[in-house]
Structure 1
Amino acid sequence: MKKILTIAGSDCSGGAGIQADIKTITSHKLYAMSAITALTAQNTTGVYGILDVPIDMVENQLDCIFNDIRPDAIKIGMVSRVDIIQAIVRKLKQYNAQNIVVDPVMVSTSGSKLLSDEAINTLIRELLPLGTIITPNIFEAQVLCKFGIDSEYFMVKSAQIIAQMGVKAILIKGGHFGEQANDLLYENGNITWFSSERIDNPNTHGTGCTLSSAIACNLGMEYSLKDSIQNAKNYINSAIAANLDIGKGRGPLNHMCKL
């Protein structure tokens, strides 16, 4: 059985973060492991508290995992502090980790910045270049490239700029505008579009976490990068189309949908 590690924050309501990642990995019939970087008090209506895990505990979790059950792929989500980012980078280099999917959680769905400028700079300088692929949404891509993105033309322009930061491959998720959910893969100067119809369902809490975890699952199963993305897109579309309706706000996906 392939082993997948998620390094991210906990969502006590189960829709995003570590919980969404573990559900996604389990749905792919793979072995899920987790290193928790933060505890959050949140539900479908919002985030009401964040408690960062002490740096030595983050490192201890990663040491225990790599020294016993080496992951075949890794997904990295919420990393909110400079020292936590640097600790993760040290451990990834120490253990020569492979198949790393970085979901740069920097901006909320409403467009609010979640990280300090210092943490964002550390993320860009030290963590993003280690990723096999990074998966920013439109808002996060705007933070990285420092200009607005309101069309597929500017998605490409932003990817070109982000690539200059030492990033190997970028998947910019275009689900926040337009009639279709068109995602852009930029790899070694090559452009690939992944197109799908927008699904009319407001319950999309945890889509970014889920997509990045699904990509990691497929990379861990030794699919190519493009096939990993397409398979992950198919999975997340099914999870949204299942029309799960839980909670009073923007509810979660159905991670138990058929692959």
Structure 2
Amino acid sequence: MTAEPLQVVDPAVAVARTRPRNSPAETISQTLSMAWRALKKMRRNPEQFFDVTLQPLLFTAMFAYIFGGAISGNVTSYLPLLIPGIVAQTVLTTCMASGVQLREDLDKGVFDRFKVLPIARIAPLAGPVVADVVRYLIAATLTFVMGMIIGYRPGGGVPGVLGAIALSVFIGWSMAWIFTWIGTIARNARSVQGISMLILFPLTFLSNAFVPVHTLPSGLAAFVKINPVSLLVSATRDLANNGAITSQVGWTLLAGLVVIAIFAPLSVRNYRRHI
């Protein structure tokens, strides 16, 4: 009688076979647990909050007093144009940290521990992205607070400001999936930061965030009008300055959903290759 040859089984495959299938409720619970883990890391590393606490204050005051007189004649007249633009810029630049942190964790081998735990594969990836919502909320709120200290009076009142903050936070969260995806394909954290800045900074500054579109050369104005950052800025202005839910708000929400639908699956797919 001939003995059957032994089959060599990959340990990772063996673990995957024994891992129970997680229900949607369990996946959400595990994601929130990972989000809590990320928040505890932020609490123990206060420097992670420098960009969402100092940057809004500095940028708001700096841009208001440097460009206010040149663009609108005085600082007070410039603030309704500037503050929503600073909110959009601050939230978008903040979401770059998601990809950088993910790449650092992958390089340090943190996810090697997660791959043998009986948890949903997406939980360690989505948890930090959810935790970063706190950072977006802080950045947007401080920008409005600083603006009101130096004279900004939003015509949309409290509901308009809350709507603008909520919209900015949602778009920041959706954009974070782009940088999370970059974190799964870049070689190291420095590369993630460099690529993210190369993408985001031109889009932010070549938008309607700081100057009216009609003051720009025709070629540049054409690009600014189709720039997705300009769409977010216009929607934020409609909410904060007028308290109006316009088509710009609807298109911005749709754009955020499209980004999530494209880059969340891409991030998960590339993330699986690392674990």
Settle same-fold status: TM greater than 0.5: no
TM-score normalized by structure 2?
0.27
Larger RCO of the pair (alpha carbons < 8 Å, separation 6+): 2
